Chain A
Amino acid sequence: MTWLMWRQHRKQLLFAVAALVVFGAFFVGTGRPMHDRFERAGLPGCLPAAREAPVVVDLGAQPGTPGPEPTLPEGVDKPPEPTVPGVDAAALADARCVQQARAFYGDYQTVPFVGLLLLVLPMLAGMFWGAPLVARELEAGTHRLVWTQGTSRLRWATTKFGLVTLAVLVLTAVYAAMLTWWIMPVIDTSGQRFSYIFFDIHGIVVFGYVVFALALGILAGAVTGRLLPAMSATVVGFIGVRLLVMLAARDHYMPTETRRTPNLDTSFATMRNDLNGDWIVATGAGFEGNSGYEVLTIHPIRQFWTFQAIETAIFVTLALGLLIGATYWTRRRIS
């Protein structure tokens, strides 16, 4: 049985591995200079602390302070840090770090656009791995060959679905690891880890989306028995469910919290630190004398993995349901 699966799907597997190699080359090729730049700017060291600061000094608004530091070639000592009167050294370091991060993120504005393309990648697994799995057998009539051997259709279905899912999960693991390495500097400097693009293309949700798309394709193929309708159904179903969960459900995974920013000191031109990555659902503002503050309704960044886990669980559960449906349908199928 395993041999048959290998024999039938080895070309697809080879193709997927080749695609992974291409992705890998792209990630390494563009990721190396990006990581170099990230490290040279000292961001790995300063970001964890700077992210925690509720407000930062707006260096751009300070008279007589330098703009973003030029990136120095390796081996050249940094010039002594200029000081700003009235701002302590730690706050200044945070402010510089935030400034560096902004500059870095500004240089990699294209990455979210690449991310946009990666959003549809799981769907391709459903279209090209899932949909043909049963549909192609039915279209070619070979189900009449393979379902009339001495092995039960139930075993055929569970082995086939199981092994293909496993293979796709392994491929996804490699892909997700490469992608996460590649994109983390950009996510870290964006402060938008919860955004629709970043949240959806990295972390564990990718596994959920991939198995969901795959299972959807398999079921569509088993029900329609035709490849093209199954592929179309996969596209429509995947995009529909993803949008529904993303726009209507994700917000409600956990209760929101409110955060009141410290008073934003007008004399120092401090500003809200957007780098921490909280998901800001709503904002309000207030004034106290000479200074103002903001009231933010947020999903805090520390709940990021909870959100990822819930979203993954939703899609894995859907996928299991679809796979059970596909198995049932394959067994009962009228040919």
Chain B
Amino acid sequence: MNGALVADGLTKRYRKTVALDRCSFAIPERSIVALVGPNGAGKSTLLHCATGLVRPTEGTLTVLGGQPGDPTLPRVGFVAQDAPLYRDFTADELLKMGGKLNREFDLPFARARLVDVGIPLDRPTDRLSGGQRAQVALCLALAKRPRLLLLDEPLASLDPLARREFLSALMDGVAEEHMTVVLSSHLLTDLERVCDHLMVLRSGQVQTLGATDELLAKHKRLIGPPQPRRPKITGVEQIVSAARAERQIELLVRTNGDILDPAWDQYDVSLEDVVLAYLEPRAGEALLDLEVAGA
């Protein structure tokens, strides 16, 4: 498989928990991926595996065709959760550090960017706002001119205005580069505006990965009569979630063809619906199984 980030059976076990459970996927190059999942789904572990901060227990992860860590780090930009920076360093000193630690580092570009977004270069970062710190961290990562940019919950600690500014700064930085970007978040709403791919992670397993427009086209909401047993509908590949109302049943399904059964009304879904359906801990199946048992 080709791609900027390719996993094959990627597994990471900690002493008691399984953070990543046999993940296999390929993130295509030049995509902007929203990596969505609840807290503890394994998003950070996945990104840390891609930077070499964490070693997988089993399976492999290929980053830009190479091994994660030292061999590929020069081409990977990473902003860790909460954008850690040396608190007593000024933004200018952090950029200087970036210049010293990276063979390729576009210092003039980085300085100009920070000035553009109005960040004082000579103030220690612990006296900057959370939004400004996030901007500095992003700028450090972008100045490496990476081919893969990984952002771990970049918006979590930012207020709505700072979120907007961060995202527009990100899109500016990404626009002219041929860069693959992976942003993680536990909320899709933050990222919907910027991403063109969606990856849903739950309990360490990849639920779905695809281009957003394809995902939207493939998933349908079906509303039909209550079923005595698990419904078999032509054109449905998988029932992702199910909910029962008094006189009807509502399904969110992944299709693999047209649904022609007149018993079901079809509706389009939003990306948010898709994410929520995949994040529901299989309540849909349980509900349907229950009906089968009762029948």
Total A-B pairs, Cβ < 8 A: 73
Q: Is the interface of B mostly helix, strand, loop or mixed?
A: loop
CB distance from A328 to the nearest CB of B (A): 14
Residues of A within 8 A of B144 (CB): 149-150
Once bound together, how far apart are the Cα atoms of A142 and B101, in whole Å? 14
Residues of A within 8 A of B76 (CB): 148
Given contacts A144-B53, A148-B53, A148-B73, contact A3 B100 (CB under 8 A): yes
CB distance from B71 to the nearest CB of A (A): 9
Contact B100 A1 (CB under 8 A): yes
| B128 on interface, CB distance cutoff 8 Å | no
| A153 on interface, CB distance cutoff 8 Å | yes
| B48 on interface, CB distance cutoff 8 Å | yes
CB distance from A159 to the nearest CB of B (A): 11
Residues of A within 8 A of B70 (CB): 152-154
| A8 on interface, CB distance cutoff 8 Å | yes
Residues of A within 8 A of B53 (CB): 143-144, 147-148, 335
- What is the size category of the interface that chain B forms with chain A? 20 to 34
Once bound together, how far apart are the Cα atoms of A146 and B54, in whole Å? 15
Residue tally, chain A, CB below 8 Å to B: 23
Task: Give the residues from 62 to 109 in chain B that come closer than 8 angstroms, CB to CB, to chain A.
Answer: 70, 73-74, 76, 78, 80-82, 84-87, 89, 93, 96-98, 100-105
Once bound together, how far apart are the Cα atoms of A141 and B48, in whole Å? 13
| B203 on interface, CB distance cutoff 8 Å | no
Contact B82 A334 (CB under 8 A): no
Residues of B within 8 A of A290 (CB): none
| A117 on interface, CB distance cutoff 8 Å | no
Residues of B within 8 A of A146 (CB): 101
Residues of B within 8 A of A150 (CB): 73-74, 101-105, 144
CB distance from A230 to the nearest CB of B (A): 19
Task: Give the residues from 94 to 138 in chain B that come closer than 8 angstroms, CB to CB, to chain A.
Answer: 96-98, 100-105, 137
Contact B84 A140 (CB under 8 A): yes
**Chain B positions near chain A (C-beta within 8 angstroms):** 48, 51-55, 70, 73-74, 76, 78, 80-82, 84-87, 89, 93, 96-98, 100-105, 137, 140, 144
